[in-house]
Amino acid sequence: MSSDRISSSGLGWFLTGARGIFSLPALILMTSFVGFSAFALESGISRGEAVFMTLSIWALPAKMILIGSMTSGAGLAACFIAVTLSSVRMMPMVASIVPEMRTQRTPVWLLLFLSHFVAITAWVFTNNTIHHVPREARIAYFAGFGITLTLVNTVIVAVCYGLVAAFPPLVAGVLFFLTPVYFVVSIWATARHAVVRIAFVIGVVAGPLFAMIEPEFDVLYAGVGGGTLAYLIDRALRKRALAAKEKAS
């Protein structure tokens, strides 16, 4: 990546971002969307509906939950609540990358439009690479990656729907496992602040724990409660480090 050369070309950075489609996280997500098209067919969702979901909802867990609720015969309100509860994480995810992406001149409507392309993979990829991109090019770079990733996966769903009825169980299992395993290692690898590693450990333990205690709001408790606990631990550690530094000097 030629981040040392200051490029004034927004298109150039858009294309640099678009080339991220050949990265490991993008390839793993694409295999997940092949799996999704098989799941949609199996659940009685039409090709057009599956394509529309991919373009309009984008986040894979939200789509799985919507299909699960729809096929169980839940009404509009119940489906909305199930999907929206599972998508609360989008707010802190987007909020944590916006301060690193925008400049003082970035219009809000552009951020609102681009936020649609944020899901876990794009979030991890952005956290991982945005620091190699000059600030004024970050919006173009993210747009290139996010829009390309969404459109390519929409095409994958359109093409693969009906093509793959079902994988052999072992292949399906391995494909399903790729995504969480990738998130585990990549989020740890891209953590630039100690607070992220502390929240990582607490989230991993609290997620399954709360799923057994309070299955309806488990992710909310684990995320908001666990995240706040991680923040408090990190703040105490930072204060202690600062005090030790002042004592030493």
Farthest CA pair distance, the chain: 68
Each residue 110-129 as x (binds another protein by CB under 8 A) or -, in order, gives -xx--xx-x-x--x------
Nearer to another protein, 5 or 245 (CB): 245
Is 155 one of the binding residues for another protein (CB under 8 A)?
no
Is 243 one of the binding residues for another protein (CB under 8 A)?
no
Nearer to another protein, 11 or 80 (CB): 80
d(CA 175, CA 34): 9
Which single residue is written with the structure tokens 């298109």?
Answer: 11
Apex 104 CA angle, 123 and 89, nearest 5: 25
Residues 40-79 that bind another protein (CB under 8 A): 46, 48-49, 52-53, 56-59, 61-64, 66, 69-70, 76, 79
Nearer to another protein, 19 or 188 (CB): 188
Which single residue is written with the structure tokens 């333990």?
Answer: 205
Is 89 one of the binding residues for another protein (CB under 8 A)?
yes
CB of 33 to another protein, least distance (A): 15
Alpha helices in the chain (DSSP H): 10-18, 24-42, 47-56, 60-71, 76-86, 90-101, 108-115, 120-129, 138-160, 169-189, 194-213, 218-220, 226-248
Choosing from 151, 152, 158, 224, the residue that interacts with another protein (CB under 8 A) is 224
Choosing from 164, 188, 241, 244, the residue that interacts with another protein (CB under 8 A) is 188
Choosing from 95, 159, 164, 241, the residue that interacts with another protein (CB under 8 A) is 95
Is 84 one of the binding residues for another protein (CB under 8 A)?
yes
CB of 128 to another protein, least distance (A): 9
Choosing from 3, 7, 87, 150, the residue that interacts with another protein (CB under 8 A) is 87
Can you spell out the DSSP letters for 163-195? T-S---HHHHHHHHHHHHHHHHHHHHHT--SHH
- Dihedral angle of Cα 201, 204, 208, 211, to the nearest 10 degrees: 90
Residues 23-42 that bind another protein (CB under 8 A): 24, 28, 39
